[in-house]
Amino acid sequence: MPRLLLDGRELEASSSQTLLDSFQAGGVPWRESCRNGVCGVCACQLFQGKVDYLGRQPHALDNKDRRAGQILPCIAYPASELLEISLPAYPLDCPQLTNL
């Protein structure tokens, strides 16, 4: 089962669910909106590992963002056994963050 490292915190991920779903199942609040890769609200930095968008396009990211390692966890699935991902820049203890 793939593992997610989020600034020292470790979560298990399922290859059959998006990273966003894995974050939320692991109790990590994460901003989201469209869940279609269009808005970019959920964007984060991938430091290590690979993701697969399963044929979908991360429209909210331009080529510069992609080259810099930005991903959209709302449509990304783990494609390696270990993924190291940045936590978002907003406070994680704010319950109003989901569905913004």
pTM value is 0.87
Of 52, 42, 59, 47, the C-alpha closest to 100 is 42
Q: What is the DSSP letter of 64?
A: H
Instruction: Give the per-residue pLDDT at 98.
Output: 46
Question: Cβ of 6: how many Cβ atoms within 10 Å?
Answer: 19
Instruction: Give the per-residue pLDDT at 8.
Output: 85
Q: What is the DSSP letter of 82?
A: E
Residue 63's DSSP bridge partners are none
Of 5, 34, 39, 38, the C-alpha closest to 19 is 5
Task: Provide the pLDDT confidence category of residue 67 given band limits of 50, 70 and 90.
Answer: very high
Q: Quick check: 51 and 78 in contact, CB under 8 A?
A: yes
Question: Cβ of 70: how many Cβ atoms within 10 Å?
Answer: 18
Task: Delineate the domains of the chain, giving CATH numbers in brackets.
Answer: 3-88 (3.10.20.30)
Q: Quick check: 52 and 23 in contact, CB under 8 A?
A: no
Q: What is the pLDDT of residues 17-59, one digit of tens each?
A: 999 999 999 998 898 999 999 999 999 999 999 999 999 999 9
